[in-house]
Amino acid sequence: MDGTVCFEGRFFEVPYELTGQQVVLVVDPHTSRVLGVESGQGQALGAATPLDKQANSQRKRRRPEHSAPENRSAPTPGPTLVELALHQHQGALRLVEQDLDEQSSTDQENNSCIDNTSD
């Protein structure tokens, strides 16, 4: 994460602002000469120069400047897997209870139709 990339065992410096990003190294296929660096969509992002280890070791480091994040409220966390499982279980219990209630009502109706007269 120091603004360098490696190609065929050789290190190259790229613009420090690209630190941490995924980039594509543009290479001449005939000479294996590194020409620059691009985004994954082919947008030119800058030069890629051979790394000067001596100069790089004495270079002052700075963090890339990022624009301030927009005022966005943090996303509301959704239910956990346990909460989802509980909700699903409770729904299944309600269905069983409804089936039992319907079965009980049907049994009571059937029982009320039985002729209780004895001969």
Q: What is the pLDDT of residues 70-105, one digit of tens each?
A: 555 666 677 777 877 888 878 887 877 787 777 777
CA distance 5 to 14: 7
- pTM comes to 0.45
Q: What is the DSSP letter of 81?
A: H
DSSP state of 28: -
Beta strands (DSSP E) in the chain are 4-7, 10-13, 24-27, 34-38, 44-46, 49-50
What are the domain boundaries of the chain? 4-58, 79-111
- Cβ atoms 86, 79 nearer than 8 A: no
Taking only the tens place, the pLDDT of each residue in 12-61 is 888 878 888 888 889 999 998 998 899 888 889 988 888 877 766 666 66
In the chain, what is the straight-line distance between the N-terminal and C-terminal CA atoms, in Å?
A: 98
pLDDT of residue 104: 74
Give me the amino acid identity at 81.
L
* Positive or negative: CA dihedral 11, 22, 25, 62: negative
